[in-house]
Amino acid sequence: MMPEESVERSILAEFPEMNPGPVYRLDRFGKVTLAYAAARKIFGKNVIGQSWLDICPGINPAIWKTIHSTSGPVPHEAQVGECIFVFTHRCDPVSKVVFVFGADIPNQKLAEKALR
């Protein structure tokens, strides 16, 4: 392997950790198997091994079933502390692993509140 390739691989490995939005990987039962840096700030550094249905406000078995039966993204809005997030879920149809991509949406909510 060339030194440039090694550096490139190192940069690629760091890329998810540098994402400002929370990213999680869940097993088919909803257990958190991976949480990048921003994700650990939301639910704590010990989030690995916890059930998404227990820690994500408003996620219930019916929503979990929808996530597994839908081929596209399934968004879910949740308030965690003072923050409001949209967690977008994508289920891999083969492995049934679920990827969760979060976005903090305070500015959108403030604009909606101002319109009311």
Supply the CATH number for residue 101's domain. 3.30.450.20
Residue 36: which domain range? 20-115
User: Do the domain assignments include residue 65?
Assistant: yes
What's the predicted TM-score (pTM) here?
0.80
Structure tokens at 27: 């097993």
Query: Which pLDDT score, from 0 to 100, does residue 83 have?
Result: 85
pLDDT tens, residue order, the chain (116 aa): 555 666 566 665 666 666 778 999 999 999 999 999 889 989 888 999 999 999 999 999 999 999 999 989 999 999 988 888 999 999 999 999 999 999 888 766 666 666 66
Angle at 69 between CA 16 and CA 29, to 5 degrees: 60
Taking Cα atoms as reference points, which of 28, 109, 108 lies closest to residue 69? Answer: 28
Residue 62 lies in a domain: yes
Q: Quick one: pLDDT at residue 45? A: 86
Please give the pLDDT value at position 24: 95
| 19, 38 contact by CB (below 8 A) | yes
Distance CA 21, CA 40 (A): 11
Is residue 6, in this structure, part of any structural domain at all?
A: no
What is the number of structural domains in the chain? 1
